[in-house]
Amino acid sequence: MTSTPLHIAGLPPTGALIDGRWVDDGPRFTVDDKFSGRPVAEVAAATRAQVSEAVRVTRAAADAGAPPPHDRAQVLRRAAALMGSYRLRLVDVMVAEAGFTLVDAGNEVDRAMVTLSLSADEALRLVGDVVPFGASPGAHRRIGFTQRFPVGVVCAITPFNSPLNTVLHKVAPAYAAGNAVVLKPSAFTPLTSALLAQLLLEAGMPPAFLAVLQGEGDSVGAWLLEEQDIAFYTFTGSTRVGRIIQQAAGLRRTQMELGSIASTIVCADADLDRAIPKIANAGLRKAGQVCTSVQRLYVHRSIAEEVGQRLAAFAQTLQAGDPRDPATKVGPLISEASAIRAESWLREAEQGGARLLCGGQRRRSVITPAVVTHAPDDGRVWCQEAFAPLLALRPFEDFEEAIRDANSTPFGLSAGIFTQDIDRALRAAATLRFGTVQINESSSARSDVMPFGGVKDSGFGKEGPAHAIREMTEERLVVFNP
């Protein structure tokens, strides 16, 4: 593997953004191309002093007050429009630092434009409710209503697997609500956030309302938890880190989108021509590095063999390799260490009696899409979040058994079920304890307008601009008593 730097045109600034200025005097770390391993850029991590300064500046801006809603909406709409001129740079950067295929990177940009537009809409309709005081004897003359106000400084801590759209699901609703934002992106994918920050400033976002702090969670992330002027933390990542953030936040509010082992159930009456491609793409796209990727796949025993064969055949059509090749459908994992881990889990499953129908071969950070059957109950491909391109198929006889098993994990983010039986579909909706239950869809199908979040160890609170903006505001009751 060569250490010759990989040239990426139009790289963004590679330091901390504070009050509209980029500073790069902190310790440096290298961002590598996830397919070749070659260095792409050196990024200056934020220092402890810069973290405090960023929070001080954003707190002062929030205290002084945000621009009015119409102006905030215009900034977000201009940002959506600017995405077109930034598109090629954003795609190039995400292909390099996240390992996205060209299609996945393009989809990320397209969805980001939607998220910005939805957030602009919400800035204009952030209203409260009228209180029906007539319900209380003697209070019928009172007039009451609620209003919503920004919480102040929102700290967004974001993951590598959606370095543009997930970031915007935090930053855009926060600003739409009138908050200032301190963003700490993943150290795996800092360049996309830096480029996005450039775009937002060009769109007219007031400089003091956005800070970007690069670096590791153990340093920069930990320092952000010490800053008491942060009013709200929004985090996407592991349950382990989510617990740390929640403990440090105390009485301050949070929104957590955490770990997952996503399940999908395929009943005997499922339309397999529809289900197979949906399941395969949902489990294997982005190299399986999506929190809702299908991992546990429950298939009625009467069709289990057919489904396994068809999934394996479909998976083998998905070329894995260089994400810059337009024919590639499955790119690299975020690191070679992650690929080695996934490979070891598959070998462990085989040693425990599992049958590998296809895939599972590793070349550096690329794993060919794998379909596994008969994984042991204690095998890590079955009972831990894989975050890799693999599907673990298990036959079931009794529908209630499949429901119970899907509910047996500590997590509850998203589930899917394929069936033509409306009673069975409604039963699944009522008993699958997940934040989202999708009927005739896989666990991994998300529209940016929908409320998105989990239960149990998958966290709490909702993303989706209309829902996130309410999380990031304080509700105040106003009562007139004539």
Say if residue 289 is in the same domain as residue 237.
no
pLDDT value of residue 127? 95
Instruction: Name the 3-class secondary structure at 266.
Output: strand
Tokens of 215: 């670096």
Burial class (CB in 10 A: 0-12, 13-18, 19+), 228: exposed
The predicted model scores a pTM of 0.96
Q: Domain residues for 84? A: 16-258+458-478
43 lies in a domain? yes
CATH at 473: 3.40.605.10
Sorted by sequence, the CB contacts under 8 Å of residue 279 that are 6+ apart come out as 264, 266, 294, 297, 311, 391, 442
**Residue type at 155?**
C
How many residues make up the chain in this entry? 482
Residue of 155, 267, 291, 358 marked catalytic: 291
CA 82 – CA 79 distance, rounded (Å):
5
Closest CA to 8 of 324, 322, 327, 332: 324
- In terms of domains, do 254 and 268 share one? no
Let me know whether 75 and 214 are in one domain: yes
Q: Does residue 133 share a domain with residue 26? A: yes
Q: Are residues 268 and 320 in the same domain?
A: yes
Q: Cα dihedral angle (98, 99, 102, 105), rounded to 10 degrees?
A: -20
Within-domain flag for 453: no
pLDDT of residue 1: 44
In a domain, 386, yes or no: yes
Query: How far apart are alpha carbons 276 and 279 in whole angstroms?
Result: 5
Query: Edge-to-edge, what's the strand order for the sheet holding 473-480?
Result: 130-131, 143-150, 473-480
Helices (H) and strands (E) in the chain, counts: 14, 24
Same domain, 208 and 281: no
**What is the CATH number for 313?**
3.40.309.10
CA distance 236 to 46: 20
User: What pLDDT score does 6 carry?
Assistant: 83
> Quick check: 293 and 282 in contact, CB under 8 A?
yes
Angstrom distance (rounded) from CA 438 to CA 203: 36
Q: pLDDT value at position 18?
A: 98
What is the C-alpha to C-alpha distance for residues 280 and 293, in angstroms, rounded to an integer? 9
Domain for residue 7, yes or no?
no
Contact indicator for 389, 341 with CB cutoff of 8 Å: no
Longest dimension (CA), the chain: 80
> Are residues 165 and 212 both part of a single domain?
yes
Q: Work out whether strand 180-184 and strand 210-212 pair parallel, antiparallel, or are unpaired.
A: parallel
For residues 279 and 157, state if they share a domain: no
Shared domain for 230 and 270, answered yes or no, is no
Residue 383 falls in the annotated catalytic set: no
Q: How far apart are CA 467 and CA 78, in angstroms?
A: 22
In degrees and rounded to multiples of 5, residue 421 shows phi and psi of: -95, 115
Q: Are residues 181 and 115 in the same domain?
A: yes
pLDDT at 30: 97
Residue 452 tokens read as 């998105």
Residue 358: count of CB within 10 angstroms of its CB = 19
Number of domains the chain is built from: 2
Residues of the chain with pLDDT under 70: 1-3
CA distance 81 to 76: 9
Catalytic residue among 227, 257, 336, 471: 257
Same domain assignment for residues 248 and 342: no
Same-domain pairing of 430 and 315: yes
